[in-house]
Amino acid sequence: MTMRQTPLPAGDTFLAWLASQAAQRDLAGLTRTPPVRFLAHPADQDHPELIDLAGNDYLGLSQDPRVTRAAADAALRWGAGAGASRLVTGNLALHTDLEQALAEFCGQPAGLVFSSGYLANLGVVTALVGRGDLVICDAHAHASLMDACRLSRARVVTVEHLDVEAVSDLLASRPERHALVITESLFSVLGDAAPITDLAEACECNAAVLLVDEAHGIGVAGPDGRGLVYGTGLADQPNVLVTATLSKALGSQGGVVLGPAPLREHLLNQARSFGYDTGLAPAAAAAALTALEVLRDQPELVSKLHGVGRRLAEALGKSPAPGAVLPIPMPGPQQALAVRDSCARQGLAVGCFRPPSVPDRISRIRITAKASLTPEQLLQAEQILHTALTEVCD
């Protein structure tokens, strides 16, 4: 998270070095201080619960009583943790039930669940490409995808955001035999959609594999929230793979890779972030499985989310986003922080993204729509945002 960095000094000068790093972060307005989230309680007037336009619990499922009950029951039955890697004694029927349910929901043949979306991305990329291969990645792809590319030891080329032509040219002129193209479906900070049909075609024409991270697409995009890959009819293409997190619209924790059954077998054997990691906690697996059932039974949650998103976009004078994420560019990191803090003082949580989380170095306030917001909360949120933006930016 820090800016770079002189060589790590030894001995007593280490603490002085840490202090100088902290001072540099402060000066640049890049210090992170995670705010503590409180729940409304009449006895605790000092810590009111904020209206949440910052989190990723898009459908409010993390608080759904059916989901929390399933998590509690699973913890009581199986224990608080899986206890070991799934390759040892940490594998439960819950994991495989969840994999089948996720695959079926997204129209994919098979899936493998990891203990986070971050680890799913690390696992699939490093298990598919290595030294002597090519990886092409959108410049705005999530840090987990970027880290996966670096870790793979393949030649990594970052292309301009949404630039299909650059991808095609690189694929066509490559000396490498194996190539993997990586994108998000709906981008986590910019909120826009990737041209996945065109990317899939470029991959098909040039014997490459496309990996689409649907972290912000599952539960949000496509028919009944089945994701953008499903929505664009690409779910049955063997060279289009999907990763997703269970920690956003599904309100739980964990990650998954979806694709052909032999891919699952390959990852189970080759993905280091699967084999050398403790299995997904039983409570998280049960919560995600139940959240998926709720989503299947109540697809209207997805249209509710889009209704809230449209209303927020309109209030900010923007076009509606394809998903839940609406970014507001800021003049700099300090202003982004000032808007976030002003909103928090008035009772509203908004996201604040500053370098290095934004590859174009444009700091942004990020608003995320939530299906569970009431019309009163929305009105209040719009007023608070308007006041904060006027106060800081006018």
Footprint on this chain of ligand PLP (rule: CB under 6 A): 116-118, 121, 142, 144, 184, 188, 213, 215, 245, 247, 255
Q: How far is the CB of 171 from ligand PLP (least distance, A)?
A: 23
State how far the Cα of 235 lies from the Cα of 196, in Å rounded to an integer: 11
State how far the Cα of 119 lies from the Cα of 274, in Å rounded to an integer: 8
- Given the complex with ligand PLP, which of 137 and 392 has the nearer CB atom? 137
- Given the complex with ligand PLP, which of 247 and 290 has the nearer CB atom? 247
What are the phi and psi torsion angles at 385 (to 5°)?
-60, -45
**Beta strands 179-184 and 209-213: pairing type?**
parallel
Token couple for 266: 């390959």
Residue nearest ligand PLP, Cβ-based: 117
Buried b (16+ CB within 10 A) or exposed e, 279-293: bbbbbbbbbbbbbbe
The set of residues, in sequence order, having a beta carbon less than 8 Å from that of 383 and lying 6+ positions away, is none
- Given the complex with ligand PLP, which of 288 and 389 has the nearer CB atom? 288
Q: How far is the CB of 213 from ligand PLP (least distance, A)?
A: 5
Assign residue 214 a region (left: φ > 0; alpha: ψ between -120 and 50; beta: otherwise): alpha
Q: How far is the CB of 392 from ligand PLP (least distance, A)?
A: 26
- Given the complex with ligand PLP, which of 62 and 245 has the nearer CB atom? 245
- Given the complex with ligand PLP, which of 259 and 342 has the nearer CB atom? 259
Q: How far is the CB of 42 from ligand PLP (least distance, A)?
A: 33
Query: In terms of Cα–Cα distance, which of 205, 213, 98, 209 is closest to 146?
Result: 213
Running DSSP on this structure, what letter comes out for residue 184? E
Q: How far is the CB of 184 from ligand PLP (least distance, A)?
A: 5
State how far the Cα of 101 lies from the Cα of 111, in Å rounded to an integer: 9
- Given the complex with ligand PLP, which of 116 and 290 has the nearer CB atom? 116
Q: How far is the CB of 248 from ligand PLP (least distance, A)?
A: 7
Residue carrying structure tokens 């001072």: 23
